[in-house]
Amino acid sequence: MKEKHSVSSYFIKALLVRFLDRPQRIAELLQAAGFAERSLDELGERVAPKLLAQLWLTVIRELGDEFFGFDSHGMPIGSFALICRGLIQAPTVGKALGLSLEYFALFLRDIDAQVQVRGKRVVVVMRTETQDPYLQAVITETFLILIVGLMCWLAGRRIPISRARFAHARPPHGDEHLLWGAYVEFDAAVTEIEFEREYLRLPVLQDRKSLYTFLRDAPQSVFIRFRNREGFSARVHQRLRACGYDHWPTLEQLALEFDIHLASLRRALQREGFSYQEIKDEVRRAIAFERLRSSTMSIADIAQEVGFREPSAFHRAFKQWTGESPGSFRLRGSQGSAQS
């Protein structure tokens, strides 16, 4: 079982990819970052976020590159702070998103990322020049974690990802739903992440004072804020996943369980970027996607499991979530599995 406050050791190995031919240097870097282990083979499946953050900084200092040697040009030390100082001047998250891609493009030569508006959705489309499948996955996830983590910080709340599609194969870390939301696809034709357009209208709330704190705590402030599986929102999410929809508690009942005042719980969720309804909707989507992908349950039974009394209501909601019907989603998933 995964620890509540941990990240996959996949990300440790990813940071050290430029040292794989130098095992002694890997041992020294792990030691400098506070790891008890002295080789990648000794690492367990999960590590503490603080160790990841410390290794992140250690590798940056070693390489003199804030993008870990993943790009032919790279990002000299100080580039990330410079980008952040520019972004806090933006009036809205949407404007900051466009600027962030422009600013990163000043340093990174092997990544092309663009913003596209598609009706009520905004999509970040990304491609990398890297041909190595492992590096492609590492570079893609690292870049998008930085972009989305920055947007969440600028908005002062979590910005949920509606849909994520990746051109690379599914990584072995097993954190894809924690990182990218319930609707995740791999081996897709293109890499893109999708948001509701309304979030880009949010004002930028950060200033020079909060930037100092953010940079002082980076990269943990970026990765953990983006991953957003700590705190009360995680506890609520886990509580709902642990029981059937018919037994979901009210927010008042959860406050009693957590031994916290109702108003305090509501404020805590709001600080983490959620309402109780949003968490419930996210869990319903996650269950529906999982059942359609990996079970033989009928669509009517799935609809009932996630709280829809009528299959027609589930069909309408599912199409709003994904742009396609449950049957089409299931068929496409089965075709993808057959091809792989």
Nearest to 276 by CA among 299, 252, 294: 252
Which tokens belong to 152? 């969440």
Q: Which long-range contacts (CB under 8 A, 24 or more apart) does 62-71 make?
A: 62/29, 63/18, 67/107, 67/108, 67/142, 68/15, 68/17, 68/18, 68/142, 69/17, 69/18, 70/17, 70/110, 70/130, 70/135, 70/138, 70/139, 70/142, 71/107, 71/108, 71/109, 71/110, 71/111, 71/139
Q: How many domains are there within the chain? A: 3
Asked if residue 2 is part of any domain, the answer here is no
Q: Provide the pLDDT for residue 3.
A: 41
- For residues 155 and 94, what is the distance between their CA atoms, to the nearest angstrom? 10
Q: Provide the pLDDT for residue 260.
A: 94
Q: Are residues 179 and 248 in the same domain?
A: no
Asked if residue 288 is part of any domain, the answer here is yes
CATH of the domain at 299: 1.10.10.60
Asked if residue 216 is part of any domain, the answer here is no
> Which structural domain, as residue segments, surrounds residue 327?
230-339
Q: Provide the pLDDT for residue 324.
A: 86
Asked if residue 68 is part of any domain, the answer here is no
Asked if residue 218 is part of any domain, the answer here is no
Q: Are residues 185 and 299 in the same domain?
A: no
Q: Say whether the peptide bond before residue 203 is cis (omega within 30 degrees of 0).
A: no
Q: Provide the pLDDT for residue 322.
A: 80
Q: Provide the pLDDT for residue 262.
A: 95
Q: Are residues 120 and 188 in the same domain?
A: yes
Q: Are residues 19 and 83 in the same domain?
A: no
Nearest to 223 by CA among 27, 110, 55, 93: 55
Digit-by-digit pLDDT tens for the chain (340 residues) are 344 457 778 889 889 999 999 999 999 999 999 998 888 888 888 888 788 889 999 999 999 999 999 999 999 999 999 999 999 999 999 999 999 999 999 999 999 999 999 988 999 999 999 888 889 999 999 999 999 999 988 988 888 888 899 999 888 766 666 678 778 888 999 999 999 899 899 999 999 999 998 898 887 777 655 554 557 887 898 899 899 899 999 999 999 999 999 999 998 888 777 789 988 988 998 899 889 988 899 999 999 999 998 999 999 998 888 878 999 888 876 655 555 4
Instruction: Give one DSSP letter per residue of 38-89, joined into a string.
Output: SSGGG--SEE-HHHHHHHHHHHHHHHT-TTTT-SSS---TTHHHHHHHHHTT
Q: Are residues 102 and 197 in the same domain?
A: yes
Q: Are residues 179 and 87 in the same domain?
A: yes
Contact 152, 158 (CB under 8 A): yes
- What's the Rg (C-alpha) of the chain? 21
Beta partners for residue 127, in sequence order: 112
Pairing of strands 163-165, 191-196: antiparallel
Last residue of a domain, one of 149, 182, 201: 201
Asked if residue 92 is part of any domain, the answer here is yes
Longest dimension (CA), the chain: 61
Label residues 152-171 b or e (16+ Cβ within 10 Å = b): bbbbebbbbbbbbbbbbeeb
Q: Are residues 141 and 166 in the same domain?
A: yes
Q: Provide the pLDDT for residue 222.
A: 76
- Strand extents, DSSP E, the chain: 7-8, 46-47, 111-118, 121-128, 163-165, 184-185, 191-196
- For residues 58 and 309, what is the distance between their CA atoms, to the nearest angstrom? 54
Q: Are residues 56 and 106 in the same domain?
A: no
- For residues 182 and 163, what is the distance between their CA atoms, to the nearest angstrom? 8
Q: Provide the pLDDT for residue 1.
A: 36
3-state secondary structure of 170: coil
